[in-house]
Structure 1
């Protein structure tokens, strides 16, 4: 039986009354798996920002944490076991906000229980788990959207549209960069391999790599070479505005880089760090044979009328009106649309990361497959 916070909110057993009510008000009801910071800071307000969406349940393996989350945020039901949450007939969808290595099991279970899933990034802690999630989505026909919000940035959408229209010509090189001078997450859910699967490569590198590949049409990667290092996380003397952590627990990298080759001739370098002794190292960019672009500043560069020019692209009206991450998820549920961030694409980031980690161990380039 579910633990109930708000006695005035009731969902009748059997589902008949609930079904009638749902048809009348067209509500989408959501449960959240994992009651941590990403759930409170992103997923809960994200779902609640969409008209006609209610968050009615939360679970966490620490039951008191789930209970406190439910009380604080006026959520009627809380659970310790995610299987109890996804067994609720009232639920239409779930957010998976667990540590990276624990994305696959609740995602697959929720999909097989007939729920749509918005899973926080990265897709999983490794490509094997990501593949199982993809297969579950394909098998069940339910939406699996990965939480990569950069795709919903209006500027990134504009660059993608320009690329699709041929403005940049053939892209041949790009640099995806996510380097912090200092920003080491203090939680064990980020700094231990058994929970996170990796460090900044899959934590923040996934954002810049995914959005760059998305802009460029997600070409197929073929090989990757990489290097990783741990230079700060295993030390007790490091200044870190993000708080203290246990250096003895820290067993992931705090720096990673990779070089990725693609079938179409494109090369991308990827640089990520939670901590470093540099600032102002530049921005993500890509080069085409007709034009190129930088993310920050948001500019494109090309030749026109015998001169080299650069300018900030105008964001088209249709993109200005485009839905955000959570609105797009619920629109897809209501209208039977494909996943706004399809796992068929995002799984390639997991495969690339696996190849970079293997390359770092072996010192050789590794096939991405």
Structure 2
């Protein structure tokens, strides 16, 4: 079987730090064309990741009939525009997060994705062993009735992230911190980092029915929020808390799911899934039993490996698809509205 030919639209930090490194781990596919604005960055990426061609014309990737799939890695205001063009050209699509900051755009993308046989994977990618194992334990009733959940995903902010990107490209540019520009970025830490915390909980517990949120700017030089906390009403009856921010240089990536028979938790990036349960349901002082959950039964793959595997199987991702990305987009937009209006916002979409 010949390798799938992949093109990338966008040659910025996320292509350098995520898409190209992960594509090098994929069997059965190769990146053959990168498009972007800066010639120096394009050449650097081609040299570093052994890509044969680059172009400064995004349309050239769409128009190339030899390309099977397209990775959308442009700034988020352009995600849906180029995702729709790729689908219309018959390409499989790997969509960077967030899908959009507009429900009309998100609806349009879902409609286009579901009217094609092309495989669409939409980040964030949470088909990870620990998350899948927690999801299975919830579905199997191991934790009892789920009452609450919490997830947090945060880091030190765009300026910290881009310091590493500038090292990759060996250059400093004046517009990499567009994340802080309210006119360009439109949204802040919630859509940048909170999307991960929300996706984690939605993957495990399912659809959200309502959102109550508070957003603030605690430290960064921007009119956008740099800190956010969302209270999520889940269709299953549980309450969830999704936290995020740009003011956490120690970095946090964790979640916990709480039920009437026990709880599971991941206490940090690359940490194991721990199952906690009481040794007695009638003695509050009884010892707590904790054990590491075996997760080897679940596939340990990155988003690009999963995308290519789905393409080869003629399938859609079960979890990280256009419909789930739209649901997460609606949750985040509801968070913005809730914080502004001081009220709970109902969610219409479901996954």
Report if TM-score (shorter chain) is over 0.5: yes
Trace 1:1-369 onto structure 2 (pairs within 5 A): 25-149=1-125, 151-180=126-155, 182-185=156-159, 187-216=176-205, 218-219=206-207, 221-234=208-221, 250-275=222-247, 283-296=254-267, 298-304=273-279, 307-319=286-298, 321-340=299-318, 341-369=320-348
Give the TM-score normalised by structure 2.
0.84
Aligned length: 324
CA distance in 1, matches of 2:25, 2:330: 33
Determine if contact 1:125/1:196 at 8 Å carries over to the other structure. no
- Quote how far apart the aligned CAs of 1:66 are: 3.0
- Quote how far apart the aligned CAs of 1:69 are: 3.0
CA distance in 1, matches of 2:253, 2:177: 30
- C-alpha change, 1:283 and 1:110, in structure 2 (3 Å) is closer
Determine if contact 2:275/2:293 at 8 Å carries over to the other structure. no
- Measured on the aligned residues, the alpha-carbon RMSD in Å equals 2.4
Determine if contact 1:222/1:367 at 8 Å carries over to the other structure. yes
Determine if contact 2:4/2:30 at 8 Å carries over to the other structure. yes
CA distance in 1, matches of 2:340, 2:47: 46
Determine if contact 1:126/1:197 at 8 Å carries over to the other structure. no
Q: 1:293-326 CA distances to partner (integer Å, 9 max, x unpaired)?
A: 221163222234665433233324422x544322
CA distance in 1, matches of 2:107, 2:182: 19
Determine if contact 2:154/2:253 at 8 Å carries over to the other structure. no
CA distance in 1, matches of 2:300, 2:247: 35
- Quote how far apart the aligned CAs of 1:77 are: 2.2
* Partner SS for 1:98: coil
- C-alpha change, 1:27 and 1:348, in structure 2 (3 Å) is same
Stretches of structure 1 that go unaligned for 5 or more consecutive residues are 1-24, 235-249
Stretches of structure 2 that go unaligned for 5 or more consecutive residues are 163-175
Larger Rg belongs to: 1
- C-alpha change, 1:43 and 1:171, in structure 2 (3 Å) is same
Determine if contact 2:92/2:311 at 8 Å carries over to the other structure. yes
Determine if contact 2:154/2:251 at 8 Å carries over to the other structure. no
- C-alpha change, 1:53 and 1:191, in structure 2 (3 Å) is same
Moved more, 59-68 or 323-332: 59-68
- C-alpha change, 1:200 and 1:312, in structure 2 (3 Å) is farther
- Quote how far apart the aligned CAs of 1:65 are: 3.6
Determine if contact 1:102/1:195 at 8 Å carries over to the other structure. no
- Quote how far apart the aligned CAs of 1:362 are: 1.3
- C-alpha change, 1:274 and 1:158, in structure 2 (3 Å) is same
- C-alpha change, 1:279 and 1:59, in structure 2 (3 Å) is closer
Q: 1:180-235 CA distances to partner (integer Å, 9 max, x unpaired)?
A: 4x33435334223344332221111111221122112x13x22212121123222x
CA distance in 2, matches of 1:213, 1:122: 15
